[in-house]
């Protein structure tokens, strides 16, 4: 069974998700989804306990933007990244180490290094994809996905 923690930000609708098998008897995955409607510092106290050494590898943050206001996307992304960075900076050392390991795995994937179950395999041919401006300048250690709706 797969476990994944999803933190969706920028969306206020409640979501519950359970992935079941074809016969609806077997549970294939359980997803814990936490929703925040705004990047208010008051929510940081609610999010921080969710980020533990055990849960960080199973967590993804999805920032949901609204197509009705595309002019606000840059500000919203900046606000959410600042919110998350504020939380990550206050985590204990063990959480930061785990987040650093996850970040290195994502960097290896981005650079084209082969990925096999948590460690990069050595290869004779390495593909170096140039990083874009601002990539990996200040990594959070959490995978982030940006989605748009509306």
Distance from C-alpha of 72 to C-alpha of 61, rounded to nearest angstrom: 19
Q: Are 8 and 33 in contact (CB under 8 A)?
A: yes
Per residue in 102-139, pLDDT (tens digit) is: 888 877 776 665 555 544 445 555 566 666 666 666 67
Distance from C-alpha of 144 to C-alpha of 8, rounded to nearest angstrom: 10
Q: What is the pLDDT of residue 2?
A: 47
CB atoms near residue 59 (< 10 Å): 19
Per residue in 11-52, pLDDT (tens digit) is: 444 444 555 555 656 666 667 778 888 888 888 988 898 899
Task: Tokens for 55, please give them.
Answer: 């849960």
Q: Are 31 and 4 in contact (CB under 8 A)?
A: yes
Per residue in 51-73, pLDDT (tens digit) is: 999 989 888 888 888 888 899 99
């Amino acid at each position: 069974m797969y476990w994944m923690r999803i933190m969706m930000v920028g969306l206020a609708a409640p979501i519950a998700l359970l992935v079941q098998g074809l016969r609806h008897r077997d549970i294939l995955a359980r997803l814990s989804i936490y929703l925040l409607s705004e990047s208010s510092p008051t929510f940081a106290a609610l999010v921080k306990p969710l980020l533990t050494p055990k849960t960080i590898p199973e967590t993804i943050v999805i920032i949901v933007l609204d197509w009705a206001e595309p002019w606000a996307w840059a500000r919203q992304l900046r606000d959410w990244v600042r919110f998350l960075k504020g939380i990550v900076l206050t985590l204990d050392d063990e959480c930061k180490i785990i987040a650093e390991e996850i970040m290195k795995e994502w960097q290896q994937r981005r650079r084209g290094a082969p990925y096999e179950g948590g460690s990069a395999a050595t290869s004779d041919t390495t593909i170096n994809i140039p990083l874009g401006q601002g990539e990996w300048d200040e990594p959070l250690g959490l995978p982030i996905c940006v989605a748009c709706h509306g």
